[in-house]
Amino acid sequence: MRRKILYVCESIGGGVRKHLLDVLHHINHSKYEIVVVHSVDRTDPIFMEEMDSLKEKGVKFYALANFVREISPWKDTKALFKLIRLIRDFKPDIVHCHSSKAGGVGRIASYLCRTNKIIYTPHAYMFQNSELNQLKKLVFLFFERVLDKFCNYTINVSEGERDTALQNKVTAPRKSILIYNGITKTNREFAPDQNTFVIGTTARLEPQKDPWTFFHIAKEVVTACDNVKFVYVGDGSMKNEIAQEIKKHQLEEKIILTGFQRNPMAFVQTFDIYLITSLYEGMPYSVLEALNYGLPLVATNVIGNNEVVKDGYNGYLFESRKVEEGVQKIISIMNNPLLAAKFAENSRHLFEMKFQIEHMLSALEVVYDVARPEQVLLDNNRTITSYS
């Protein structure tokens, strides 16, 4: 008999969408019967397009009304009771909640229904956000500590995220499991432009990703260097204001905002350097894609980034919002082809050792299938580890 898994995701976009699609497409459907609960309004077009092929594999979907990002006691209560009814009807063996809001509503609902195994993956905790004031951080920290009592395990996607959780007493050591995100290995189909040096990123134009630092670095580099351009692949609430600033400085040919793209990897394959300016991360899928294609990387020194970018090995790290530092790191790679080639080779090696999808799925199935997964340690000191 197949085990029943209920995935609860309020928002399905960006890294969460990538993670969930990879799991749903590659997990062994002969072992698991799967239902996905998601919000009505916060499921992105790429995920919607994939639903038909996933339905053919037997995956069922349920759009939960009143399941919204903002804290709303009335809507949250209605969503909670609807989810309780769904859990009682489906009777899952496992409920796996992704990100903060789903982690709140989903953990409470499944706990009240006495679900056998309740799992939470935060994909970066809200209290990690350096933009929040201290009071808001303490509020999010308080809720994470309380909600941890309603689940069996927390899966952290980076060592830094797990260390942060343990240091802040968000979860107990015995409940903390590390599983790095993983992706399918693919080869380049498009070659970089031989006449123009291209530096780019794929990210939402939202405060967490700090696109203003990307713009300021780009402005400095294109002013100082010939035959170079920057490409930002993605959409978001900050797109218009940054586009206006690009136009103001007459840099439309040098700094390009592509907007939403259904195949962002077609752009990534043409990059010479991958730049990521995030203020905080869990384990960014965009950087894993850059590793897969063997790109040198320049990234902010924050949790998540600093586990896939090893300073001086496959790229450089710089401190958040330190524009001049970022500029110097990029120009040093541009001016040293041998160094760029070394970083590229090391990126590919790091990807093959740690971040392939087979590693992630084998670890995830251990968590689903084994009574005490925290006692399991997979080969090569990789995916599942726990504190004793």
Q: What is the mean pLDDT of residues 49-60?
A: 95
Whether residue 172 sits in one domain with residue 250: no
Q: Is residue 188 part of a domain?
A: no
What is the domain range of residue 88? 3-183+357-381
**pLDDT value of position 387:** 36
DSSP line for 322-362: -HHHHHHHHHHHHT-HHHHHHHHHHHHHHHHHH-BHHHHHH
Q: Is the model's pLDDT at 379 over the cut of 70?
A: no
Q: Is residue 149 part of a domain?
A: yes
Whether residue 330 sits in one domain with residue 276: yes
Q: Is residue 265 part of a domain?
A: yes
Strand order in the sheet with 297-300: 255-259, 228-233, 197-202, 273-276, 297-300, 315-318
C-alpha count within 13 angstroms, C-beta hemisphere, residue 237: 5
Q: At 61, which helix (H) or strand (E)?
A: strand 60-64
* C-alpha 261: how far from chain center: 17
φ/ψ region of 234 (left if φ > 0, alpha if ψ in -120 to 50, else beta) reads: left
Whether residue 177 sits in one domain with residue 203: no
Whether residue 213 sits in one domain with residue 90: no
Whether residue 348 sits in one domain with residue 377: no
Whether residue 286 sits in one domain with residue 143: no
Q: Is residue 189 part of a domain?
A: no
Structure confidence at residue 118 as a pLDDT band (50, 70, 90): very high
- Give the model confidence (pLDDT) of 234-247 as tens digits: 999 999 999 999 99
Q: Which residues, listed in sequence order, are joined to residue 229 by a DSSP beta bridge?
A: 198
* C-alpha 300: how far from chain center: 15
Whether residue 42 sits in one domain with residue 19: yes
d(CA 97, CA 75): 18
d(CA 110, CA 101): 14
pTM attached to this predicted model = 0.86
Report the b/e string of 301-336 with b at 16+ CB within 10 A.
ebbbbbbbbbeeebbbbbebeebebbbbbbeebbee
d(CA 67, CA 46): 20
Q: Is residue 222 part of a domain?
A: yes
Sequence letter at residue 336:
N
Q: Is residue 154 part of a domain?
A: yes
- Yes or no: say if 176 and 151 are a contact pair by the CB < 8 Å rule: no
C-alpha count within 13 angstroms, C-beta hemisphere, residue 28: 13
d(CA 316, CA 333): 9
Structure confidence at residue 149 as a pLDDT band (50, 70, 90): very high
Q: Lowest-pLDDT range, 228-232, 279-283, 359-363?
A: 279-283
Whether residue 211 sits in one domain with residue 311: yes
Q: What percent of the chain has pLDDT over 70?
A: 96
